[in-house]
Structure 1
Amino acid sequence: MAADAGAPGTVRPGGRTAQVRAAVLRAAGDLLSESGFAGLDLADVARRADVGRTTVYRRWGTPTGLVADLLRDMAEQSLPRTETGSLRGDLRENALLVQRTLSDPRQGPLFRAVIAAAACDRRTSAALHRFYATRIAEWAPCVVAAVARGEAPEGTDPAEVIRAVSAPLYYRMLASGDPVDEAAAVRAAEAAAAAARAGAYADPTGEGQDRP
């Protein structure tokens, strides 16, 4: 996903500037994991990153600006999709990737903090939406390929299938408190694949195929 032109902290040249950005985003992620959004202080981020406080304030301005850039970087750095040659296999790989992220000792708390912040801050919410739009667009071609192979009906909405894989895992993390384990990931993938094959996500007009 391309960075917004002129947005704080989004210029990505090489050398010292890139190193500073990487250090600041790493420190921000650590603080979010440890203390949540409420504990994200730009001065603390600068200290942890060993970067001048003025640099952090000038480039990112506010904690929400920093979180927006962190989400942008996370989307760019996320692993590419895995193509196994079958819808069931591809969705399973997607589910296991989500599961590993949400159950990771650092990434799990980081995502919870960002989601909590997005619930009450529009800028963070917009950044989170962009993050997930990027990830859905990355995996949607797996569903498009499955339709072409005849594994799912014409008009199947790729984005809806991908959302159906991860939704149960986020529910476990944020609402029910049930384990986000591999078994849950496999069940989510199997359910989404079965529903897709049965036409649950098919749009009879065929328009869903073109949505990211």
Structure 2
Amino acid sequence: MEQPSRLAGTVRPGGRTARVRAAVLEATQDELVERGFHGLTMDQVAVRAGVGKTTVYRRWGSPAGLVVDLMTELADQSVPHADTGALEGDLLANALSVLEALHDGRLGPTLQAMIAAATCDEQAAQGLRAFYSRRIQEWAGAVDLAVKRGELPEGTDGAEVIRAISAPLYYRLVVSREPVTREDAERSVARTLAAARAGAFVSPG
């Protein structure tokens, strides 16, 4: 799920409001990388962004509100799914984009902090679900194209295929705390592709 590691381009037309949001989200990501979610404070984000504390509290309300808006911004900036002309190439592109994100010195810690936030805050959990739902649905389009080309059975659930690609990688990162390698990504693609071709992801009915 390809996303930028830094919030480049967050300043959009809209004057001061857009500039304030960009500065606050940049500061939020900086704080998440350095301190994690449990170390994220509204006051420190305000200081780092050079914005009044009242503005930050009024607009975002809580650290979870900052995280949710940051996830929205990262999702908005992510690029479309790959279209290599073959499903295997598209799935490998997806797996490698996940691998790149997890290894990125800035985005990797940001994602881990977001996941940590979601385990203890329902607002953050809803934001995380929305974030990944957008990315999964985007990449599911590559699977839909493969179905149209006849590479997979009719009725294949593209979103489930994409989840199956990234699930082993996130398990290693978050649960077992093991290194996540290119070999892991390639293995996940091979196994998911074999299962998809066998009809394992065809929706009932």
Please, what TM-score do these two structures have when normalized by structure 1? 0.88
Partner of 2:169: 169
* CA distance in 1: counterparts of 2:151 and 2:112, whole angstroms: 35
Per the alignment, residue 117 of structure 2 pairs with 117
Cα distance in 2 between the residues matched to 1:106 and 1:168: 22
How far has the Cα of 1:13 moved from its partner?
Answer: 5.5
The answer for the alignment partner of 1:155 in structure 2 is 155
Where does residue 135 of structure 2 map in the other structure? 135
1:48-83 superposed Cα distances (whole Å, 9 cap, x missing partner): 111111111111111111111111111111122111
**SS of match in other structure, 1:179:** coil
* Structure 1 counterpart SS, 2:201: coil
Deviations 1:12-40 (A, max 9, x none): 75222111111111110111111111111
Q: Deviations over 1:153-187 (max 9, x none)?
A: 11111110000011011011012222222221122
Do 1:102 and 1:108's aligned partners in 2 also have CA atoms closer than 8 Å? yes
Q: What does residue 97 of structure 2 align with?
A: 97
Query: What is the CA distance between 1:194 and its match in structure 2?
Result: 1.5
Aligned equivalents of 2:159, 2:61: Cα separation in 1 = 34
Aligned counterpart, 2:86: 86
The alpha-carbon deviation at position 139 of structure 1 amounts to 0.7
Does 1:66 pair with 2:76?
no
Larger displacement relative to structure 2 (13-22 or 49-58): 13-22
- Asked if the contact 1:75/1:131 (under 8 Å) is kept, the reply is yes
Report the AA paired with residue 122 of structure 1: E
Contact 1:81–1:94 under 8 Å retained in 2:
yes
Shift of 1:133: 0.6
Q: Measure the CA separation in 2 of the matches of 1:129 and 1:95.
A: 19
In structure 2, how many angstroms separate the alpha carbons of the residues matched to 1:57 and 1:204?
47
Hey, what does 1:28 align to over in structure 2?
Answer: 28
Amino acid at match of 1:179: P
CA distance in 1, matches of 2:204, 2:148: 16
Aligned length: 194
1:92 to partner: Cα distance: 0.4
Root-mean-square deviation (CA, aligned residues, Å) is: 1.3
User: Structure 1 stretches of 5 or more lacking a match?
Assistant: 1-11, 206-212
- Asked whether the 8 Å contact 1:103–1:181 carries over to 2, the reply is no
Percent sequence identity is: 58
